[in-house]
Amino acid sequence: MKKILIIGIGAGDPGYVTMQAVDALNETDVFFILDKGPSKTKLIELRKEICRRYIRGNDHRFVDATSPEWARDTEDYFSTVDDLNRDKQTLFERLISEEMADDECGAFLVWGDPTLYDSTIRIVEMIASSGRHQLEYDVIPGISSVQALAAKHKTTLNRIGQSIEITTGRKMAGGFPANADSVVVMLDGGDTYKRFADQDIDIYWGAYVGMPDEILVSGKLKDVAGEIERVRTDARRANGWIMDSYLMRRAT
């Protein structure tokens, strides 16, 4: 029997790693590190820094693999994601088959929390249920970028008695959710917040939250939308990628 741990390592700051995650790190024999290209080298190094900081002893190893990429310009979003996840499943299955011995424990280190906008759990579950491997798995939650964003801005995600929705930029393009007082937007590649700059809305925006490159902007959306667009563009150009999210709230 092989065992896979899906470990949430938090949103960038090694201090976000929970004690449960530390125990899981120390249980692991082999860590699967997925390379997403030269611009994402910092993310690989942060994963390895977390391991150096928290693992006792040297009875573990790293296996590097190139992560499949997806076509971001496609119009058929769901089909594209299905194709990506099939490619990832093929890769994960090969790693589990070729890089793990029986009775070993392997781990995928997932940014933030593996239950939020991440497919690792679904992919590993499909492998485990396929019957092709003797495999069990566990999920260790992490501090998500949503939690870290609110904490950095010293605010709460919702107001008393009010609802909140977590969504994507693609969904947000259809309008502010009718029944939500507050909304957290992730995976927004199109500066969708600008569509609401004519409304009385407060925004709490953050990029690389918890990392040394962290950027935070907050205020009335109509006043800071231009600043967010500028710093977001500059940060993407400087780093080759950007990882940002934001909370928008109807003003009272």
Global pTM?
0.91
pLDDT in tens, 171-223: 999 999 988 999 999 999 899 999 999 999 999 999 999 999 999 999 999 99
pLDDT in tens, 42-87: 888 899 999 999 999 889 999 999 888 766 666 667 788 888 889 9
Q: How far apart are CA 88 and CA 12, in angstroms?
A: 23
Q: Are 182 and 89 in contact (CB under 8 A)?
A: no
pLDDT of residue 215: 98
Could you tell me the domains of the chain? 2-143 (3.40.1010.10), 146-250 (3.30.950.10)
Beta strand segments in the chain, E: 2-8, 30-35, 61-66, 105-110, 135-140, 164-168, 182-186, 201-207, 215-220, 244-250
